[in-house]
């Protein structure tokens, strides 16, 4: 019997088809078993660059959005050439967390030259 551990933001292959693990619940990784529900939501391309991404800060920002982009977000994206994101993902850049409120297309890599990255000024309200 083969056991497979899947981890969020990783890839795995079945035959010639490669899959991206966009999310795992309740943890960021886990063993796939007979009771595991797998959902394949969309076909995506690893070569497509995102046209636009809207990021919502998950806590109040202590610097300007431009400063946070230049000092926290941009260096990480430049370092990781294959920086893939998808809608509804939570991203961490240094001490900042952002929710991906919108991405066009749904999944793709951030290309600093071609991806319009918008950081919303509002923070989520406590429930």
Q: What is the mean pLDDT of residues 96-106?
A: 91
Average pLDDT, rounded, for the chain = 84
Options 3.10.420.10, 1.10.3720.10, 3.10.330.10, 3.20.20.70; CATH for 52-119 is 3.10.330.10
Give the H/E segment covering residue 20.
strand 17-20
> Per-domain residue ranges for the chain?
1-41, 52-119
pTM of the model: 0.70
Instruction: DSSP letter for 74, please.
Output: H
pLDDT of residue 41: 72
Distance CA 56, CA 49 (A): 20
Give tens-digit pLDDT for 41-100: 777 677 778 999 999 999 888 888 999 999 999 999 999 877 888 888 889 988 899 999
């Amino acid at each position: 019997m083969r056991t497979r551990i899947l981890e969020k933001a990783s890839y795995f292959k079945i035959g010639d088809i490669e899959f991206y693990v966009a999310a795992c619940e309740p943890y960021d990784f886990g063993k796939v078993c007979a009771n595991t529900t797998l959902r394949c939501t969309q076909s995506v391309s690893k070569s497509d660059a995102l046209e636009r991404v809207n990021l919502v800060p998950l806590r109040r920002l202590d610097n300007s959005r431009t400063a946070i982009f230049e000092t926290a977000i941009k260096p990480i994206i430049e370092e990781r050439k294959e920086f893939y994101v998808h809608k509804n993902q939570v991203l961490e850049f240094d001490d900042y967390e952002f929710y991906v409120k919108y991405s066009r297309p749904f999944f793709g890599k951030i290309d600093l030259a071609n991806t319009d990255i918008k950081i919303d000024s509002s923070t989520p309200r406590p429930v």
